[in-house]
Amino acid sequence: MAPLLGARLAELGVEDECARRWNRQRMVIWAENARRLKVAAEVIGALSARSIATLALKGVALAAAHYPHPGLRSMNDIDILVKTQARARAFAVLEELGFGPSGPVLGASIDVLHALAFARRGVEIDLHWRLLPECRDLESGPFWTNPDPIEIAGVRTVSLNRADMLFHVCVHGVRWDSAPLRWVADARVLAGRPGLDWNQLVRRAIDLRLELPVREALELLGRFAFVDVPHEVRRSLSAHAPSTFYKIEHQIRIRRPGLEGMVPRHMCLHMRRSEKGRVRTLIGLPGYLQRAYGYGSAPEAASGLTRKLWRRLRPRAPR
């Protein structure tokens, strides 16, 4: 956020040590982003050469196409979306380029993930095959239908259109383990220009049953970030009353994990993604948790999760 403050002070003609320091920070971020954008272009070009379609997400798309200066939007990694059926081929391309998984990966856990992190010489690629953890495979499909063309370090690709990107930013922003406060700046940049398709934003939220986080994000933006959210948008989102399940899920998303850790979140994701009836979905929950945590069998999962809970419950010795 500091580079944005520095740029605003410069617009107002303010020159002091804080403004100079923040503008120096903008130059540092610009240089770091240039290195990451060059890597992003390399990866996107390699994927395109293998006929693998890509969508640039989050910071890489925002810095390249939406912020007035690439040093105003820092990014920790490069987020790229591919289609689920191209996932294995995309993994192979990244490995050929010298990228390796950032952590241990078990084959059984891949299907419950929405993305996987790869790294090479300090640059991380987050390869997504679902736009959001809450999405089923087919639910990411509509986001490919009307993308915006962008250019990253001389390589042409596409990103989410502005309405879809704002939807993505809102859902990521309203959760406990969200990105830093910069999501507010991202949303303001996206919503601040005329021509935004607010109706599409509403449709995405309703279709994916994410009305609660989107509505809460827009309320925050209207109240504290001076984003002019049309009344009809707020009314349309409020008109769709979520079920008890989605209300509980939202509370789990926005609160700090308790003694039970991430298990409730995984349970909600399993309930969302399953196409079976509720009873069969609940019966399949142990198997889902087994895959989510990378255990080899259901008994091993039960034992491992019990140990995790015990470690949280066990009082720690004073230091």
Mean pLDDT of the chain: 86
Quote the tokens at residue 69.
């200066």
Asked whether residue 226 carries a pLDDT value surpassing 90, the answer given is no
Q: How many domains does the chain fold into?
A: 2
> Is 168 part of a structural domain of the chain?
no
Tell me, yes or no, whether 154 and 281 share the same domain. Answer: no
Identify the residue with better confidence: 312 or 133. Answer: 133
pLDDT of residue 263: 81
Q: How far apart are CA 290 and CA 296, in angstroms?
A: 7
pLDDT of residue 108: 55
Q: How far apart are CA 195 and CA 207, in angstroms?
A: 22
Asked whether residue 246 carries a pLDDT value surpassing 80, the answer given is yes
Tell me, yes or no, whether 272 and 155 share the same domain. Answer: no
pLDDT of residue 119: 95
> Is 191 part of a structural domain of the chain?
no
Tell me, yes or no, whether 273 and 152 share the same domain. Answer: no
> Is 22 part of a structural domain of the chain?
yes
Domain, as residue range, for 300: 257-313
160, 183, 200 - which closes a domain: 160
> Is 250 part of a structural domain of the chain?
no
Asked whether residue 11 carries a pLDDT value surpassing 70, the answer given is no
Asked whether residue 318 carries a pLDDT value surpassing 60, the answer given is no
pLDDT of residue 12: 62
Tell me, yes or no, whether 277 and 156 share the same domain. Answer: no
Give the residue-averaged pLDDT of 282-286. Answer: 82
pLDDT of residue 5: 64
| Confidence band of 314 (pLDDT split at 50, 70, 90) | low
Tell me, yes or no, whether 15 and 148 share the same domain. Answer: yes
For the chain, give the percent of residues with pLDDT over 70.
Answer: 87
Q: How far apart are CA 253 and CA 266, in angstroms?
A: 11
Looking at residue 218, the DSSP 8-state letter turns out to be H
Give the residue-averaged pLDDT of 61-76. Answer: 88
Tell me, yes or no, whether 156 and 261 share the same domain. Answer: no
Lowest-confidence pick of 52-56, 121-125, 235-239, 314-318: 314-318
Q: Which residues contact 266 (CB under 8 A, 6 or more apart)?
A: 112, 288, 289, 292
3-state secondary structure of 51: coil
130, 160, 190 - which closes a domain: 160
> Is 190 part of a structural domain of the chain?
no
pLDDT of residue 66: 93
pLDDT of residue 293: 78
User: For residue 146, what is the domain's CATH number?
Assistant: 3.30.460
Asked whether residue 103 carries a pLDDT value surpassing 60, the answer given is yes
* Most confident listed range (11-15, 27-31, 182-186): 182-186
Tell me, yes or no, whether 261 and 136 share the same domain. Answer: no
> Is 232 part of a structural domain of the chain?
no
Tell me, yes or no, whether 145 and 2 share the same domain. Answer: yes
User: pTM of the full predicted structure?
Assistant: 0.88
> Is 208 part of a structural domain of the chain?
no
117, 133, 160 - which closes a domain: 160
Tell me, yes or no, whether 121 and 267 share the same domain. Answer: no
> Is 33 part of a structural domain of the chain?
yes
For the chain, give the percent of residues with pLDDT over 90.
Answer: 51
Asked whether residue 272 carries a pLDDT value surpassing 80, the answer given is yes
Q: What is the pLDDT of residues 116-148, one digit of tens each?
A: 999 999 999 999 999 998 988 777 889 999 999
Lowest-confidence pick of 49-63, 76-90, 262-276: 262-276
| Confidence band of 77 (pLDDT split at 50, 70, 90) | very high
pLDDT of residue 264: 86
Q: Which of 144, 148, 147, 125 is nearest to 38 (CA)?
A: 125
| Confidence band of 57 (pLDDT split at 50, 70, 90) | very high
pLDDT of residue 73: 87
| Confidence band of 313 (pLDDT split at 50, 70, 90) | low
Alpha helix stretches (DSSP H) within the chain: 2-11, 17-49, 58-65, 87-96, 107-110, 162-173, 182-191, 198-207, 211-224, 231-239, 244-254, 263-273, 278-283, 285-292, 298-313
